[in-house]
Chains A and B, each alone.
Chain A
Amino acid sequence: MRKVIFAINTSIDGYVHHTSFNPDEEVFQYFTDLMQEVDLIVYGRKMYELMFPYWADEANRETKFETEFAQRITDIDKIVFSRSLDSAEYNTRIVRTDPAAELLKLKQQPGKSISLSSVSMLPQLGQAGVVDEFRLVVHPVIVGQGPRLVESGSLAEQLQLKLVESKFFKSGCVALHYAKNS
């Protein structure tokens, strides 16, 4: 069965707003490598609109590392879960049905891993046991405000995980790789 991998940048204190971070080459490379393990990215609407059309626009790719990352996620097949979005480009399909049920179905299809890129759907999907791996890239900053990895009260039960690997970057970022405790 295909794995679902949730990956995100976070601060030491658990905040996830993208403006809090300045990912450098190593972090881009980490995410590009991860994107080589997947052949489908699943977005919520907000994250999708943050990523596209931004990364599809070549003018926004400043370094070789950004270019490789942007090219990969533009090329790859994508699903965006949204009730409101009318149309989407860049190999993206809009899905309006229940995300957990849809992901369960997708996991049973042949293919590489599936990347989950949505903060708002994480509690629901984590709780449903659909998420197999968590990759946190912890940036060496304290933010103290803004959207969090998991908002208070959104999880009915804790997600107890297993640390699989940790990697340390020159920038002081730490990539922590966790798997579901099964």
Chain B
Amino acid sequence: MRKLIFAINLTMDGCCDHTKGAADEELYYYYIALLQDADTFLYGRKTYQLMVPYWPDVAKNNSGHSQGGNDYAQAFEKVDKMVVVSKSLDKAEGKNARIIRTNLSDEVLKMKQEPGKNILTGGVDIPSQLIQLGLVDELRVVIQPVVVGEGRRLFDGLSMPDKLKLKLVESKSFNSGCVALRYVKG
């Protein structure tokens, strides 16, 4: 069965607002490696709209703020399938895009059983649901060296019977002071 991976940038105090930290080159290449091992994105509407058409446009126009940004955009485009979880979205762009409206759990289980590379999820709402459903196999957090005290929290009021215990399998620190931690289900 293929893996569902949730990757996100966090501040030291658990905020995940994407405006709170900028990716530097090292970070782009960390995420590019993750994209290269995946062939499917699984996003909620908000994250989908944050990423598309932004990254496809960067890929088309080579308009990233840096080489890392452009390479990230190329890697983003090479991830073959886009699955958006939304009740309100009419259509998703791209050749292999589709929308899931109901039965998130069944749909994701089915996807995981299909052959292929990893499935990548991002954002907050959908990953929280996936974590509560026990469907996330791997968590990648990149902790940025800043305390912000505001903005979206990673798992705010997550309703789980108990805390979720994970296993740290890898860690890496970057020149920027970011630390990438890779956890798997405990």
Question: Do A and B belong to a common assembly?
Answer: yes
List chain A positions with a Cβ less than 8 A from chain B: 10-15, 20, 123, 126, 134, 136, 138, 140-145, 148-155, 158-163, 166, 168, 172-174, 176, 178
20 A-B pairs with CB atoms under 8 Å apart are: A12-B14, A12-B154, A13-B153, A14-B154, A134-B12, A136-B12, A140-B183, A141-B165, A141-B166, A142-B155, A142-B158, A143-B163, A144-B159, A145-B158, A150-B148, A152-B151, A158-B146, A158-B148, A159-B148, A174-B171
Answer yes or no: B173 CB below 8 A from chain A CBs: yes
Q: A138-B181, A149-B12 are in contact. Are A13 and B154 (CB under 8 A)?
A: yes
Contact A168 B168 (CB under 8 A): yes
Q: A144-B158, A149-B13 are in contact. Are A178 and B149 (CB under 8 A)?
A: no
Contact A12 B141 (CB under 8 A): yes
Query: CB within 8 A of B14: which of A123, A140, A149, A176?
Result: A149
Q: How many inter-chain contacts with C-beta < 8 Å in the A-B complex?
A: 130
List chain B positions with a Cβ less than 8 A from chain A: 10-15, 20, 131, 139, 141, 143, 145-151, 153-160, 163-168, 171, 173, 177-179, 181, 183, 186
Most central of A14, A159, A161 by chain B CB within 10 Å: A14
Contact A142 B181 (CB under 8 A): no
Q: A13-B155, A144-B157, A166-B173 are in contact. Are A174 and B147 (CB under 8 A)?
A: no
